Amino acid sequence: MLLAEAQRVADALPPEVAEEVVVTGSVSRGVADELSDIEMLIVTPEPLELSACFEHAHAAGLEDLDTWGPQGGPAQRVFGYREGVPIELVWWSREHADSTVEAIHAGGPASSAEAIANGIALRTTGSLARWQARLDDYPDELAAAQIEAAALTWGGYAPAGMLTIARPGERLARAERMVDDASRVLQIVFALNRVWLPTTKRLAARVEQLVVKPDGLAERIEEAFAEPDPRRALLVMTELQAETVALAPDGPNVNRARRWLAATADVLRTAS
Same structural domain for residues 93 and 183? Answer: no
Same structural domain for residues 148 and 248? Answer: yes
pLDDT 10s digits, 140-158? 999 999 999 999 999 999 9
Please report the sign of the dihedral spanned by the C-alpha atoms of residue 70, residue 104, residue 54, residue 24: negative
pLDDT of residue 107: 85
- Residue where a domain terminates, one of 75, 109, 135: 135
- What residues of the chain score a pLDDT lower than 50? none
Q: How many domains is the chain built from?
A: 2
Same structural domain for residues 117 and 208? Answer: no
Same structural domain for residues 220 and 248? Answer: yes
Same structural domain for residues 129 and 207? Answer: no
Same structural domain for residues 178 and 254? Answer: yes
Same structural domain for residues 225 and 125? Answer: no
Same structural domain for residues 70 and 190? Answer: no
In CATH, what number is assigned to the domain containing residue 62? 3.30.460.10
pLDDT of residue 105: 86
Same structural domain for residues 11 and 40? Answer: yes
C-alpha to C-alpha distances, 168 to 137, 173, 174, 270, nearest whole angstrom: 47, 11, 10, 18
Task: Calculate ∠ Cα 240-241-247, nearest 5°.
Answer: 95
pLDDT of residue 272: 58
- Residue where a domain terminates, one of 135, 161, 185: 135
Structural domain span for residue 210: 140-271
Same structural domain for residues 86 and 131? Answer: yes
- Residue where a domain terminates, one of 135, 150, 172: 135
